[in-house]
Chains A and B, each alone.
Chain A
Amino acid sequence: MRNALSLLVLTPAIGALLLGAVPNGAEALMRRLSLAVSLVPLAICVWIWSVFDTSRGDFQLVERVGWLPQFGASYMVGIDGISLLLIALTVVLTPIVLIAAAGSVHHRFKGYLVAMLMLESTMLGSLVAIDLLLFYVFWELMLVPMFLIIGIWGGERRVYASIKFLLFTMVGSLPMLAAIIYLAMQHGVGAGQVGNLSFALGDLYGTHLSPVAAQACFLAFFLAFAVKVPMFPLHTWLPDAHVEAPTGGSVILAGVLLKMGTYGFLRFALPLFPEAMVAASYWIGALAVIGIVYGALVAMVQPDMKKLVAYSSVSHLGFVMLGIVSLNTAGVEGAVYQMLNHGVSTGALFLLVGVVYERRHTRLIAEYGGLWKQLPVYAVCFLVVMLSSIGLPGLNGFVGEFLILLGAFRFNHALGAVAASGVVLGAAYMLWMYQRVMFGPVTNEKNLKLTDMTRRELATVLPLIALAFVMGVYPRPFFDVMRASVATTLAHASKATAARDLAAGNQPTAHAAAGASIRVRESPRHVVAEPEGGGAAAPAEDSAVPAAGNGEAH
């Protein structure tokens, strides 16, 4: 399949348009159609995984079509290990959310399905885009469906939550647009002719920027991605967005959208501004650790279940950020793996909270109590998912957290130690919530009438639980896929990181060596190769990136 990636991105969008044509009455047809449409990207992703060459760290299945030649921007897509894993997460979560939607969404059902499919399309787009401008396009487009999902199908304060979500993200992302343009321009200057800008990621790797400019651009990128992660001071939109979003919306928001921030750091901020990133790694690490402890502490006292899970996401993603800034193989691979874990376990947590919300229409922990006796199956599922989220060994959460702490400890003992306390706090608020909801006598008589999970609800949660077990016991396939890509990403910053590690007094970790060993054509111009013929021949005057040697597309 020549342009698998474009197909992957466009199928959900086309499906959404098809769905638009379905008459409002036919709910069953809508359900089946939307599910079928969402399974196509899953199939494509499986095919890509089978074809993916794990030994190569650079981009594969690259497709390139001229879009804005005047700017040197082109529709250029490609994937490497990291984006493949996140794509897999997206294509797994979306069908689950669509199945769950049948039970939970009642008014304007068709609109919900259309919005969800459009959301999937834009998320996949931003994961495959390796042209900065194309990435920015999908990055902004992602906001619109999410804004609608929170705004139309959300809870009482949904309007405030959706506007807050939107403005927070936009405040972050627009300075990034300015930085992207500046970067593209600098590339033009670097390559001799002032005129020819280029947004292709491959070309921009080598751009040399004055230290001040590099810092400024890095800060702009940092702001955009930190809001999305969310990192400590910029996180207050998340609890509101989660509490007010419908169940499906929360699952996707927590499962995939939050990962865009951390993915952005790994794909763009780190390779484009290695020195700035390494220099900033200390204070970002500090912010991440504050986020971990702060998120855990505040989660402790939340009266509302969804808000508690939202703050736990702040804490978990604080771990991921700590892993990334540790800039050693263990930390970064742990971070990428934790991204997947968080998607699985927090996604499942939101589904489970949704199950109870559908029955009692309240998320307050005080309203529940002694559910184990009423809903044994529900309680067991909740237990397993909770354990995976607090990182019990044998389940997926542990693998990610262990590696992140390992890497972080290498980076800085103090940060590693405080982060380890985050693990304890994490267990504390989760167990306390679990106890108040599940254990103890049945306090509220309304809970006596609750029915256990239906087959549909089980169908949404069980795959995630199975995934949690598999990822906990046998994580090798996932690590094989991302090993080369992480090494390449770290290789970009290897010089600066080695200097930092030496300054910090411990030996330069092996990744510097490992980076070199991974077969990476280091010259910035040709990291991205073009397909032989290419789906649509790159337009002639696109002189920014001369067609490189052999193409990859199969």
Chain B
Amino acid sequence: MHAAATEVTASLPIAVSYLRYIPLAPLVGVLFHVALGYRLGRRAVGLVACAAVAVSFALAAKAFLTVLGSAAGTVVTDNVYQWLSSGEFTANVTFSVDALSSVMIMVVTGVGFLIHLYSIGYMAHEEDYARFFAYLNLFTAAMLVLVLADNLPLMFVGWEGVGLCSYLLIGFWYTDPEKASAGKKAFLVNRIGDAGFVLGAFTIFWALVDLGQGSLTFATINARAAELPAWASLAGALLLFVGATGKSAQIPLYVWLPDAMAGPTPVSALIHAATMVTAGVYMVARLHGLFEAAPAALQVVGIVGAATALLAATIGIAQTDIKKVLAYSTVSQLGYMFLALGVGAYGAGIFHVMTHAFFKALLFLGAGSVIHGLHDEQDIRRMGGVAQKMPITHATFALGVLAIAGVPGLSGFFSKDEILASAYAGGHFGLWICGVLGASITAFYMTRLYVLTFRGKFRGDHHKWDHAHESPIQMTLPLMVLAALAVVGGYVGVPEVLGGNNAFAEYLAPSVGHHQLGLAAGTELMLMGISVAAALTGIGLAWVMYSKGPDADLILKNKLGGLYQQMREAYNIDAVYDALVVQPLMRASDALWHSVDVRVIDGVANGTAAAVNSAGEGWRRWSTGNVQHYMLTVLVGVAALILALTLSSLIGVAG
């Protein structure tokens, strides 16, 4: 029993001209940093960077309020200029804000601003200060273009722009070769996804041209999706989903995200937790009409989401680096979002995007603060008892853990529960079970992380412990704000059964359609009970096992045997890819160059030259210098000529 077809109310456009300044403000910031950054010193750079994002935030808020205030389905659009037109294809630079993108720009600018603030403190002692903020502003601009775009090509500009910024930021400390190649790996894996994205866009475009309305704006695609031929909508949707897996780190293109932790922690928080990685989810939600027209594609999205959630969660358990744990947790939570989209609950997916942005950014920044405090110590086995030294970080981090674990009352609970309920309501029992299982594993490894880091006594070298101190106010303030949001964030979407009116889903309905659960109150409460139980068991189990120290991992090791080692090395998927793709490619190109280019083609070219030369040498030897040889040749020539003449006359006569 598939959810009721989501009907999209007609959009009422309001033409404005201030939307263009939202992405432009950070761009101006970038120019400032590049031109004057090095001369004007840290304070000015930090100020300008945050001011730029603040301006964007203000304008974004203005747009959000306009959309909120006016009738359902209103779209604020700003048509800047016609970028490209060739034959049937045209692409305009038009920014539009409807319910869906208003949420996204608020999250991007809001969380972005907090992270900019946090970075001022975190990057205080870096000498390439201006370069960092230039990249951060550039990223914000690109992400805003991605979210504000009203057609696929413009979105693609933002899409690759954020890919570039993640490449630059991951490889920020470029002197370290691993970090540089981690950046390269991120860019290339993204590029593979982007190739899929582009091919998907073409498939849809030409299918639409055949329908007579060739255009790549989201409105047209969603409107005409149903009329597309079946193969076109399926292929288009799947190819676009490949792009989404690349950008949002889903199976099979998730391998770059764990390595992306090589970048500075604020980068991980902003890009690899809150904003960029959600681009894939946003794109699928935005093109829900297309995915609806290809149910098989929707199925695939759901399955991939669930699988990734489960797989990443299992890996998360065995990680020892604090940022790696959070990275795999992000991959797992993204899996949840895609699971929500797969069952048609687009509103729930976006709701989880928002709440996840809050608590995952909080967790990352908290981790950053811990690393900063412990002088770049990242291995949780050599931490412990940090709570005494860093009370604020401890408190906010704890709230984050509770939120992500899905403890009732916090934002994580509401969004995750809505997803699980939708899965159950949609009849996808397999996906629902994965979800619940994933939820309990998530609770388990987050609690493990919390206990090993903050509780018990310090296991690292005491020198670091003596210097450990609470982070400065620029860092703790964003933590507190994010903690508040992580707690309060959920109350926007309280389901009816618990007395709320799910305002968030109502608000998003015009963009992505409202998806009624259609469950009896009893079953809904029962589902809630099950998910809460799963969470609490996870928390309890981890608390008991790890309160004594990290050797609890050994229990898991001998219980799970070889599997545990596999989980520790993330099923060494990297090695598999390397062996399957990278090495053969390199060997092939080497072979191609030497065999085809050098031996075959050059061989042929030099060969003919050599043949002509040797023929020349042969005939050159013919003139021996002896007069009589020449005479002999003349006489032989006479004979040959006469023979030729007779032959030609015979052929002539016969012919």
Contacts and interface: CB of A to CB of B under 8 A. Distances in A.
Interface of A: 164, 167-168, 233-236, 239, 294, 297-302, 328-330, 333-334, 370, 372-373, 380, 387, 392-394, 398-399, 402-403, 405-407, 409-410, 416-417, 420-421, 423-424, 427-428, 431-432, 435, 438-441, 473-476, 479, 483, 506-507, 509-511, 514
Given A301-B593, A406-B202, A514-B87, A393 B157 contact: yes
A506 B206 CA distance: 9
Nearest to A234: B601
A479 B84 contact: yes
In the complex, which range does the number of interface residues on chain B fall in? 35 or more
B210 A507 contact: yes
Nearest to B199: A420
B175 interface: yes
Contacts of B205: 406
A11 B634 CA distance: 56
Given A372-B174, A432-B184, A416 B202 contact: yes
Contact of A394 (B157, B184, B605): B157
Nearest to B38: A376
B296 interface: no
A423 B161 CA distance: 16
A431 B164 CA distance: 11
B504 to A, nearest CB: 32
Interface stretch (B187-195, B437-445, B645-653): B187-195
Nearest to B602: A236
Given A236-B601, A298-B597, A399-B84, A409 B177 contact: no
7 closest pairs, A vs B, by CB? A329-B87, A439-B180, A297-B589, A393-B157, A439-B174, A409-B202, A333-B86
A427 B87 contact: no
B174 A438 contact: yes
A394 B161 contact: yes
B188 A509 contact: no
A76 B332 CA distance: 69
Contact of B588 (A297, A330, A421): A297
Interface in B78-113: 81-89
Given A298-B597, A406-B205, A432-B184, A370 B590 contact: no
Given A168-B605, A507-B209, A420 B87 contact: no
Contacts of B181: 435
> Taking chain A's interface residues, is the majority helix, strand, or loop, or is none over half, making it mixed?
helix
Taking each of A380, A387, A427, which has the highest tally of chain B beta carbons within 10 Å of its own beta carbon? A427
A294 B596 contact: yes
B277 to A, nearest CB: 19
B171 interface: yes
Given A297-B585, A509-B87, A431 B199 contact: no
Given A330-B88, A334-B86, A423-B191, A410 B206 contact: yes
Contacts of B83: 473-476
Given A398-B157, A439-B177, 15 more contacts: A239-B597, A297-B589, A329-B86, A394-B161, A402-B153, A403-B84, A403-B89, A406-B89, A409-B202, A420-B195, A423-B195, A427-B191, A435-B171, A474-B83, A507-B209
24 contacts: A236-B605, A239-B597, A297-B585, A297-B592, A297-B593, A298-B593, A300-B585, A300-B589, A301-B590, A301-B593, A329-B86, A329-B87, A393-B156, A393-B159, A393-B161, A399-B84, A403-B89, A406-B89, A409-B203, A410-B206, A427-B191, A439-B175, A439-B177, A441-B175
Contacts of B597: 236, 239, 298
B627 interface: no
- Among B87, B164, B192, B593, the one with the most A-chain Cβ atoms within 10 Å of its Cβ is B87
A424 B588 contact: no
B86 A479 contact: yes
Nearest to B93: A473
Nearest to A372: B174
B180 A475 contact: no
B379 interface: no
A422 to B, nearest CB: 9
A399 to B, nearest CB: 6
B84 A431 contact: no
A250 to B, nearest CB: 19
Contacts of B590: 301
A411 B181 CA distance: 37
Of the listed residues B82, B171, B180, B586, the one surrounded by the most CB atoms of chain A closer than 10 A to its CB is: B180
Contacts of A514: 87
Nearest to B197: A420
B198 interface: yes
Contacts of A399: 84
A153 B527 CA distance: 79
B188 A431 contact: yes
Nearest to A476: B82
Interface in B186-226: 187-188, 191-192, 194-195, 198-199, 202-203, 205-206, 209-210
B86 A435 contact: no
B377 to A, nearest CB: 24
A239 B601 CA distance: 13
